[in-house]
Amino acid sequence: MPTRQLTDDEKRKLYRDGFLIVRKAVPEQMVEDARRHLNVHMGAMRGQAMSAKKIDLVRQNAVATVDGTHHVFTDLYNASGLKGLVKSAIGGPLPDAMGAQVATNFPGRQEESVNEAGYRDGDTPFHGWCGHLDGLWNGAAPVPGIEQPMSGSERRKWYQDPARNGCSRSYEGTGMNITNFTALVGVALSDQRREGVGNLGLLKGAHLKMGEFFRWQQEGGGPLGPDGPGWSREHTEAPNGHGLRHYPDQLRDAYKRGSETTPDGRLWPKPTLMKLAPGDAVIVHFATPHSATRVDGPDPRHMVYFRVMSPDRPEDQRRAYSPGLTDIWKEWKGMRRVVKELSKV
């Protein structure tokens, strides 16, 4: 049976929005096998919770230690037909995924936590949506709190390289302060068909504006990313004094319609929340700001993510490839006819 490919209409939607939902992309049995494996793993960790105070930490550790290279997770991409759909947009041959990010958000006291933008989650509009691009330095220590300023030693630790996510502030010889891949591919393991259940939020159409912004940075002499033209890395006016700008204010200000503001006057763009059933997938362009949201419902939210890179990327630029930022469709060979069609509109 031939692998289904994306239709031209689906590619047009991906071009315009920066993402595409594919319904029932993964067979139900694969989804159930992956969810069971994850739940068994988390259940085996529950005995470590000696007190209620430790439960959140144990949950985080349980998800952090799940083996994303297990076939029940990689099969969601490799053996479901999903890889063929992605290949029809990016071109190939695409290699199999060797691992996945298993991302679970739990219900809890998230309103009091401080996000990387430097605001309390409960004060951040749209269920705590804190959009970002991947590949950005996020501090080498936990996010600074609001009540007590960092000490000198805490500040020095915070500013070290690499950050907690393995990223550095800059990449010598690349002209970039950000790493990049081609596409983020997510598969829902839990029911997310209503808002407030930890939905992935995406800033619709922002990939096109980010491409324009990266070209503008390049014309201004670079580097591309934070600390380059028009993009200050830190928002020191944030409540914790060390908020991080994970996308530029120029882009934020382009989304005033439908936005909300916090009491300090900070504008927060309204994301499009992904309403996914188990087995639904979403293909996201790298340049689309994205973020999970808060779980206000009773159940955990389970997603599995794959980060896909074009096979045509030069080997010595696998991690940081500036043409993929300044020409955002360069690595999408299967999109070329649609890109040519729509870029003239």
The answer to whether 268 and 101 have CB atoms below 8 angstroms apart is no
The answer to whether 200 and 104 have CB atoms below 8 angstroms apart is no
pLDDT at 64: 57
Dihedral of CA atoms 28, 31, 32, 37 in degrees, nearest 10, equals 160
* Cβ neighbours of 141 (radius 10 Å): 16
The answer to whether 275 and 199 have CB atoms below 8 angstroms apart is yes
Write down how long the chain is.
345
Sole residue written with tokens 């006057």: 265
pLDDT at 55: 46
The DSSP letter of residue 132 is: B
Task: Please state, in angstroms and rounded to a whole number, the distance separating the CA atoms of residues 167 and 235.
Answer: 19
Task: Please state, in angstroms and rounded to a whole number, the distance separating the CA atoms of residues 98 and 129.
Answer: 29
CA dihedral for 180, 260, 14, 30, sign (positive or negative): positive
pLDDT at 108: 79
The answer to whether 266 and 253 have CB atoms below 8 angstroms apart is no
Q: Which of 82, 45, 47 is nearest to 64 (CA)?
A: 45
Helix (H, G, I), strand (E, B) or coil at 93: coil
pLDDT at 44: 75
pLDDT at 53: 45
- Each of the 345 residues of the chain gets a pLDDT tens digit; together they read 457 899 999 999 999 999 999 999 999 999 999 999 998 888 776 555 444 444 444 444 445 568 899 999 999 999 999 999 999 999 989 999 999 999 999 887 677 889 999 999 999 999 999 999 999 999 999 999 998 888 999 999 999 999 999 999 999 999 999 999 999 999 999 999 999 999 999 999 999 999 999 999 999 999 999 999 999 999 999 999 999 999 999 999 999 999 999 999 999 999 999 999 999 999 999 999 999 999 999 999 999 999 999 999 999 999 999 999 999 999 999 999 999 999 876
User: What is the separation, in whole angstroms, between the first and last Cα of the chain?
Assistant: 36
The DSSP letter of residue 3 is: P
230: left (phi over 0), alpha (psi -120 to 50) or beta: left
- Residue type at 126 in one-letter notation: F
pLDDT at 244: 98
Task: Please state, in angstroms and rounded to a whole number, the distance separating the CA atoms of residues 284 and 288.
Answer: 7
Q: Which of 41, 39, 97 is nearest to 71 (CA)?
A: 97
Phi first, then psi, for residue 137 (nearest 5°) are -55, 135
pLDDT at 330: 98
pLDDT at 42: 80
State pTM to two decimals: 0.93
Domains by residue range for the chain, with CATH = 8-135+176-342 (2.60.120.620)
Task: Please state, in angstroms and rounded to a whole number, the distance separating the CA atoms of residues 204 and 227.
Answer: 25
pLDDT at 61: 44
Sole residue written with tokens 């076939």: 71
